[in-house]
Amino acid sequence: MSDTPSKNLRKHKDIQGLLARVPFVTGACELDLLVFFYRHPCSILTNEQLSALVGYETQEIAESIDRFIEAGLLEREQNPIHAARMYLLVLDRQHMGPLKAFLDLACTHQGRRDILQLLVPGRSDPRAGKTEQRLHFVAQL
């Protein structure tokens, strides 16, 4: 049992190393949205649909998408007839090594929690406080 703190320290250092190699993930929204696109690499959705699916405000989703596009991770195509856009996750050789390791970890429940603790110290799920507000708002309808 005495090696548990050292294992946790090493795990946190490994995650910090991965986070340093994926600088476009700065918060929970980017993390969850990137995992969504990893699981659904070609998607046709509106920002409102993405917001509902991933659980963050539409503005946060839009800002995260812009960061991913700037980083060269995501391509976005718009159809002039529909509000929905096609998103394509681009995993090239430049991103594949560290990003794949990061995403493989982030796709697990414990991995997501560990990453979030380093992104938002002291909280394993930043959305936890918002859930109560949303439920309260829905109850008032």
Which whole number is the average pLDDT over 36-58? 94
pLDDT, the chain, mean = 81
CB 74 within 8 A of CB 65: yes
Decide if pLDDT at 63 tops 90.
Answer: yes
Task: Give the domain extent around 12.
Answer: 4-140
* Residue 20, domain CATH: 1.10.10.10
Residue 8: strand, helix, or coil: helix
pLDDT band at 7 (very low <50, low <70, confident <90, very high): low
Who has greater pLDDT, 10 or 86? 86
Asked whether residue 1 carries a pLDDT value surpassing 80, the answer given is no
CA distance 101 to 21: 10
- pLDDT of 112 reads 93
Provide the pLDDT for residue 116.
92
pLDDT at position 135, please? 42
Going by C-beta distance under 8 Å and a sequence separation of 6 or more, which residues neighbour residue 45? 53, 84, 85, 87
Q: How many structural domains are present in the chain?
A: 1
Picking from 25-34, 79-88, 106-115, 125-134, which range would have the lowest pLDDT averaged per residue?
125-134
| Greater pLDDT, 101 or 39 | 39
